[in-house]
Structures are given as structure tokens and as C-alpha cells.
Structure 1
Amino acid sequence: MFLPCSVTSVVPVWIMMAQLQQGGPDEKEKTTALKDLLSRIDLDELMKKDEPPLEFPDTLEGFEYIFNEKGQLRHIKTGEPFVFNYREDLHRWNQKRYEALGEIITKYVYELLQTECHLKKVTLPVDATESEPKSFIFMSEDALTNPDKLLVLIHGNGVVRAGQWARRLIINEDLDSGTQIPYIKKAIEEGYGVIVLNPNENYIEVEKTKAQVQLSSDSSDEPAEKRERKDKIQKETKKRRDFYEKYRNPQKEKETMQMYIRDNGSPEEHAIYVWDHFISQSAAENVFFVAHSYGGLAFVELMIQREAEVKNKVTAVALTDSVHNVWHQEVGKSIREWMRENCCNWVSSSEPLDTSVESMLPDCPRVSAGAVVPPSAPSLAHSPLWFPALERCTGSNITALWV
């Protein structure tokens, strides 16, 4: 097995310690000293010493990847799919590389929403000043003026952003599987207005100044005794680090701070804000939601906060692997009854598509998405069927909604 040179430099110390353990009292004292030395060596930090720089390209071409005509991510030269383990035994570096590629893909999807789906980007908050943190959503030109029907899409939590269902599917499968683009194109074709929410864009990250780093470590509000104890630990830690600094030279990541976006600091806040400023103001007689995973929880929270408005305007809701919980969210009886009539949750299951799945919760019906892996649910659940079903919706009979 290959070991980085930073680790192999410590191996002789281990060997020497093993030899000394067989000797007399003097050797045992040396063994104790060596054990102390080893206890002060952070092997994780040693592993970082041999990492390449955490600097990555800012374009797909820089990564030598491109999306082909089938929407699959492929290497420009070899035509091979994306390889996560680009460098053996460097998991942290590989993960950082994957995340950097993911950020590029996020921007790429944003571009597709505007160029292929012809959606416009709308800044949030609507009255944001030039200097404050901002988010945004995407919507069709007729989203607020379409008198007939409006489709609202909400993705799950994590790294995904507007227009995405699952980053993993985009990278490992294709754009149709991992993005909302097929939904959006079909919706526009069927005469829907469209609004695409961006519930995970809750803050911006800025690098801390030296003064801010120092301030955060001082914790002046703490009791004097606790502060003294912390100072003592910090001094001892610094002493240990200085002791073995010659053995390591790890890369230090920048310290950042989060600046939250006004009225959009969480997925739930975001959903309510977009409802108040856009969806509730739309002309559409029928509003339809498709919400995946945590997006389902955000929708239920919206119902709790705006029950009368939602009941009056929303016709049907398609949930996919929703993680909402009517008990934990303290959902009232009237909302649960409305959900039973107007919502359906397609869940990951080995059962055939649309087979009824038992639920322990007294809310909306659950049926199989025909997929075992959760992120696949949005792309597989009833995709060829649900637009005609919405068209036939009566708003009072769940079987009329989805069959």
C-alpha cells in the first residue's frame, strides 16, 4: 500500500519505539517520550501535507468536461464519464474538486433556464438594496399574468439550487434526470406559467477579516473562568502545533462568515416570501406545485402559515419523497384533510409505478415512484402522465388528479 511521504517520515519513529519497548528502564523512558511525540502528531494534518493545491478551474472546459448532445457529462478527450477518485488516497482533495465542479454545473443550469427554457431571473428580496445579500428565482414571462394555470417547482435541501433535482444525477446520469428542465419545457408546452424556487440560496459567504477571526475566538461574553480555561487549552494546542510544525505544512482553508438573505434565510422562509410576493399575486385560477424531499416540508409549512390563501389558490400538489411530517410540524386537522384530497406523495419503492404505499401518517396518499434511490423520484414519478392528470383535476377527488 502506498503511503504519502509525510506519513512514511513517521514510520521510523514507530519502529524505534517498538525496539525500545524490549529494553530496560532507560529505554522505557525513551519509549514514553516517543509516545508523547506521536500523541502530538495529527495524522490528518500530516496527510494534508501532500495534497495538491485546493485550486480548481472555474469552467467546464477547464475541467476538460462537456455535456454531450444527450446531456451527459463526458471528458473532452476520452469521452469517459466523470471520475471522482481523480487522485488516489486524496479523498479531501477529490471532494473539493467535486464541489468545485458542482458550482460550475449550478451556473450552467442557471444559463439553461434562461437560454433553453426562456425563464427570467428575478432578484430577491424585491426591494433589495445594492449592498445587501441577494437571492433569486426564475419564472416564465407569463408566470404572473397567465389566467389559467401556474406550475411551481421546489427542489430538496443540500447543494442543489434552482433548476436542479439532484447534482449526483446530473454528473453521473444526465441533465434530464437531474434537472427540472424537462418539467419546465413540458409545462410551457402545455400552456402553464412557471415559477422555479431557489430555497437553498439562503446566504452568501464572505471571507473573514483578521479582526473578525480574532473577535470570534475571543468570546468576550463568556465567564472569566471559562475564558481562562479556553485560553489555557489554546496555548497548549499552539505549543503542540509548534512542536511538530517541522513535520507538516498543511493547506489552510479560508475562514468565512455567512451573511443571510433578508426574509429568505431558510427554505421555509423562502417559500413563504415567494408566495407572498409572486404566487399569491398571480392571475392563475389554478396553481400546481411539484415539491421534492425537503421542498415538501417547505410547502407544508407554507400551508400552515397561509392556510386560507393556499386552499383558495392551489389546486393540486405532487410531492416526491417528501420529508414533511404532519406531527412534527403540528399540522392541523383541516390542513390534513385538504392534503388527503389535493396532494399525492410519490415515494421511493421497489413496487411498480403508482402502486399504493402504506403510510403511518394521516395526510396525503403515498404511491410508488418506481425508483429505489430517492434522488431519482422526481424524474421517474409519473413524468409522462401528470400534466394530463392535472388538466383533468377536479380539486375534490384525488383519483381524478393522478390517474
Structure 2
Amino acid sequence: MQAIAIKPQQATSLSAVSPIWSEWLCEQGLTRLIQHPLLVALERNEVSLTTLKTLLIQHSHYSRHFTRYLCALMGQLDHPEDVLALMENMREEMGVDGNDRITHAELYQRTLRVLGVSTADEAALPEAAAMAQTMFSHCQNSDALVGLAAMCLGAEAIVPIIYHPILQALRGKGYGEEATEFFSLHIEEDEDHALTMLAIMKRLTHGDEKRHALATQIGRELIECRIAMFDAIWRQSLTFAVAQAEQRDKGGRFSSADFWRVPSRLQVHLPDRLSHSQVMQVSQDNDATFSSQRKHKVHIVDLPSHTISMTVGRLDVTEATRLHRHNYETLIYVMQGEGYSRIGDRNVPWRAGDAFYVPVWAEHQHVNSGGGECVYLACENAPMLQNLGGIALREELGHTGV
């Protein structure tokens, strides 16, 4: 059995361990934990935001009882000095170290709030509930060694392995200190807590091989409980990913048969392309076709939005669009020039810096009445109607004459 100790900065590599926990944690169990696909994906920021939120919620179902575990454990200790040693951990958890710090539980809840979720959003997975129950049961055991092994080997000693990947994922998704403080704080502090518990465990085993074997077995049991919870979360993540892939294969369209796929929360999917460089400078076939149909220059913003569109329209001096109408709303911002728009039976004047609104199915026409080119930005909800079943309509009503 290899000696184990975890360095926070290299928590995902077994080669980073050092001989502090000699013969207390087995290499096989630790390797399975370190190499768990969920933790590896978190470290690489390759999990969806939905999966990260699920992990945090499920972990909360377990970790929110931490002070209860600790109180139950201290109740089994015979020596006052051991109780006092663990009280330091309790003081930090409760935020009563004299520095006006909030409790660790509140820090964790703040993380959830920043991510827009709460523990109530999801029921505890059976695996998360089992881990919480196993920990509490061991901490209530009249043999203090059992609770110490569960808390030390199954929680405190492996905190960097669990929290470092989560911290990397949160930072990778752009979250700041409000969301990450809980995890960075525990990575820094929990090694000392583990060492305190280890010192008590060594006294309680008295060199007895059977007692030592009991402690290591309890540690393995808690690690396996945690792996089981990670397995469940990872399976859920893969199931959702498969459903998303199937939906893409169907062209992104849903039917009555897909009703069961409605998720409980939104999931972030970052497309490969998030920008369209130099919209007005780069000529595209679609721009030419659209401009020819509309009888004036139009540049289509090519971005993967499913609900709104954006175009840049241009009108030369005295030029006007064709009279037309459509069943999607339009917001227009004038970037350059001046003119007016006929909207229904009204004339709406505008100049650079103005914005105006075109209601659904209102006849309208835009006219450049200034002395230079007019450039305007139009945002419309046509893609939403197109994706609802191809019900976006546009009708040309007249020529471009003014």
C-alpha cells in the first residue's frame, strides 16, 4: 500500500501524493476517485453548467449536515483534549474565529445562489442520501475510531481531490470569488483538520493491526460512497448529452413524443462560433441574395441564435426600402444618417442615435432623407417563429419609390 497525502495544486495526479498517510488510504481506491470521469471533466472544464449545478446540489444534500457529523463524532470522544482539537474545525465551520467570517454552510449557499440554484431544486439522489446516512451512522458509532476514520479518510483528507476540479470548473466558466471562496478555503484549511484527526486515530489504534484495518476499511467505504454518487451524476450527464445529440440529429425539432425531455433547468451549450468578424466588410452570398430581393444593401449577422436575428441595413442618399410587412417584431437602431419610416399611417422621423419599433404586420418603409448614407441595425424575432414551425411571414407590398 502506497503512502498518500494530497497536494491541492496537483490534486488530480496520484504522483503528487506524499507519505503523510502511510497505510491509511489505499492506492486503488484513491486512483479510482482521482480518475473518475466526472472529476477529470471538471478539471478540464468539459462538463456542462447543468452537470456542475447538479453536482453542487447533490453534494449539498450531503455536506449541509457536516456540523451534525462533527458534533456526533465529538460526542464519542473520551478525552477532552481530543474534543478541543476538533472544536477548532467546528469554529471554522461556524465562522466564529473572531474575523467576522460567515459560516462555511453560508459560503456554500452563496455559491449556489450565484449559480442560480438551491438544494431544493433537486431531490437527493439515492447515492447522495446513502453517503450522508453512512457518514452520520459512523460518526454516531460508540467506537470513536469509526467516526474519525469516516470523517478523516472519507472526507477531510480527500478534500483537494474533490474540490480542486470543482474550483477549476467554476473559474473556467467565469465565476469569481463569490462562487469559489468555499472551495478555495477548504482546500487550504482541511489538510490541517485531517492531520488533527489522524493524530487521534493513531492513539486509538495503539498499533493494533485489527483496529488499523477497521479504520482503513471505513475510509474505503466512504470513498466508495462518494464514487457511487459521482457515478450517478455522470450517468445523468451522459443521458442528457445523448438526448441532446438525438435532438440535433432530428434537426433540433421537438414533437409530442419528446415531452418527457423537458429539463428542470437550463443548460449552457457553447457553440463553436460566438462571433461574426467585420460584418459589413465581408461579402457573403446570403447578403447579396437578400440585398437583391430587398432592393437595398443588407448585411446579415451570421450567429447561431435561435430566437432573434440581426441585420445591418444601408440606404444610399434618397434611397428607400420596399413597402413591406411581416409577422415578427422589429427594433431598429440608427447608426448613421437620418430619414423617416412610414409605419402604418404614421411617419416616424429618425437620425443617428435614435431607435424605433415596428409592430407585427404593420406596413412599413424606411426612407433616407439626409445628405449621406444611412446605416441602421435591425433586430427581429423571426428565427423564433421559424423554429416554431416555419410560421415567420414577410410580404412585399410595393416598390422602393418615395
TM-score after normalising by structure 2: 0.28
Larger Rg over CA atoms: 2
TM-score after normalising by structure 1: 0.28
